[in-house]
Every structure is written in structure tokens, then in C-alpha cells.
Amino acid sequence: MQRFALTATVLLLTAAAARADQAGVKLQAEKPVYKAGVAGDVKFTLTNNTADTITLSTPTPWSISKDDKLVYAPFSIMILGSVAPGQSKTWTWNKKGYGDEWVGAGTYTIKVGLIWAGGDPFSLTCDVALTPNGKLAGTSRFPLAVGNEWTYVSEMSQQETMKVAYKWGDWYWVKKLVGGSRWAHMSSSWQPTLIVTTASDSTSPLFRFNRPVGYTYKVNVGFIKKMKVGGTDETVNTPAGTFTGCYRLDVAENGAMDAGYGSFWFAPGVGLVQYTTIWIGGQHTYRLHHAKIKGSDGKTYGFGQN
């Protein structure tokens, strides 16, 4: 029994080490969302940030599936390619299936099979969304719909997930919104404002959108006392893809000297794609890793790394 327990422990430690090493290999789509049924390739890149050369496990380097059903895989070239340390390899998919016809709207999974230098196989996947108009939730910078979910990862591999859990009237219960779960409501004006409930059972504006750079307003949510518009057309690179036209809000006044939030970036139709936190040890940046968003057509789409 002791020998079995020791063997099991060794196997678990070996598996954990392999998973840690695998974190250095990334599969990422250039964009999270594409327009279905029109020209414009889906571009995705495999990057090897480990110390070992990795080899493609089959002559067919990648495949596309939807709802666990194979949609397309390129013609086999009968040669196993490899990616050296510090190098990357990029492929494109024309959004067509085996019949050379456009695929429909939906969430598609890209999969690449790989082999470590020692011979151990593994695979990586990432999702892209194909929508009728190439967008998700219109122009909203904080789309509120039950089931919407955003997962972020910091440079220290810390993970946070924000989720819209349920609805009551015009209010939505959002988990992990600025450090806690709270009710949220978006005002319906041409300059929308995300209003949230506070610990004192009152309400406060949290995120004000469509304002000019330099606009400042008061907030009463956690340690945040004042916010300022820092940018209206920024580009943000995340594991879930590159987002353009991002709107940045900076915390202009914080109630704590050594804890709180720094800045928030919002992409149209997607929501919060990046934010920074401030602690005694310094600043941490959380970038969007993957998400599920209900589109303007009522369907839910997923994108980002799995």
C-alpha cells in the first residue's frame, strides 16, 4: 500500500511539472471575433516560450471543430513540422469547411497536436467567434446579459472570473465586479453609465462611457473615490486576442494607499478586457484569457484560450 501511495505521488508530481512546462506554449488567434460568410482569414499563432523544441504530432498540423464535431483540417503534407524555443508558427483558416463552403456563425475551436522533445504528446486549443456582423454585443463596453463571463489571468498566473449570474428587473447580479459581487445597471443614455450597488445599500456610478479624455467624476465603490477618462482609442493585446478602439478609465483617487485598482480597459461589444491592481508589492495586470458573450443576435459566443 505504501509503495502504491509513493508511486501515485510521483505520478502526480510528474503530471504537475508537465503542466507547468506546458504553460510556456501558447496558441492564440489574432482576433477574438470574425465575420462569418465573407472573405477574411482567421489567423492563429503557436508560440514556444519553453527551452525545448516541440514537434507537431501529425502531418495535419491543426483542425477546426464546432460542438466537438470536426469541421475542417488541412490536407496532410506528410511532414512533421517543429517549433524551436523562442520561435512561433502562424496558420490561417479561410472559414470554410470540407465542401469549400462558408461555415455558419458560432464558436469554433482550433486545435493543434504537439509532442515534447522527450516524446510526450499534448494538445492546445483556443476558440474564435464567427458572428453575422463580425461583432458581439453591438457597441456596448460592458454587455450585461445572464451567462456572460470573462476570465482574466495576471502575469503571476493568478486568475479571476467575472460573471453575470442572474437578472432582477433592469438590474444584473455580477460576480467579482471590482473585488466583489454586486447589482449593476446600465443607464440608457447616449453616454451610458454602469451604476452599481454599494456596501451601504446605496448606489454609485462606477464606469462612465463615451466621455472625453480628462473627464473626471466621483465614485463610491470600495476604495475607488474618483475616476478619470485616460484614453478613448487604445489597442490592448491579451491572450484572448487583440482589441482595438478600447476606452480606458483610470482611478484618480483611491481610498487606500497600498491597495486597490489602477486602470480599466473596455472593448466595444466585449466589455472589460484588461485591468490593473495595486498592492504593496507593486502593480499587477490582468488580461482577458477567454470569455463567453451573448451576441446581438441572441446567441452566446466563446473566444480565447482554453
The residue length of the chain stands at 306
**Do 204 and 227 form a contact (C-beta atoms < 8 A)?**
no
Helix (H, G, I), strand (E, B) or coil at 186: strand
Query: How many Cβ atoms sit within 10 Å of the Cβ of residue 191?
Result: 10
**Do 263 and 230 form a contact (C-beta atoms < 8 A)?**
yes
Query: How many Cβ atoms sit within 10 Å of the Cβ of residue 88?
Result: 13
Query: How many Cβ atoms sit within 10 Å of the Cβ of residue 113?
Result: 16
Tell me how far CA of residue 145 lies from CA of 72, 186, 243, in angstroms: 32, 11, 21
**Do 116 and 54 form a contact (C-beta atoms < 8 A)?**
yes
pLDDT of residue 21: 58
pLDDT of residue 139: 82
Query: What is the model's pTM?
Result: 0.85
Q: What is the pLDDT along the chain (306 residues), one digit of tens a residue?
A: 333 333 333 333 333 344 355 778 999 999 999 999 999 999 999 999 999 999 988 888 899 999 999 999 998 766 678 899 999 999 999 999 998 999 999 999 999 999 998 888 999 999 999 999 888 887 889 999 999 999 999 998 899 999 999 999 999 999 999 988 999 999 977 789 999 998 777 899 999 999 999 999 999 998 899 999 999 999 999 999 999 999 999 999 887 666 789 999 999 999 999 999 988 778 899 999 999 999 988 899 999 998
Q: Classify residue 201 as exposed, middle or buried by CB count within 10 Å of its CB (0-12, 13-18, 19+).
A: exposed
Q: pLDDT by residue (tens digit) across 103-146?
A: 999 999 999 999 998 888 999 999 999 999 888 887 889 999 99
Please give the Cα distance from 306 to 297 (Å, whole number): 24
Please give the Cα distance from 225 to 255 (Å, whole number): 6
Q: pLDDT by residue (tens digit) across 179-199?
A: 889 999 999 777 899 999 987
* Cβ-Cβ contacts under 8 Å for 109 (sequence gap 6 or more): 64, 65, 66, 125, 126, 127, 306
> How is residue 132 annotated by DSSP?
T
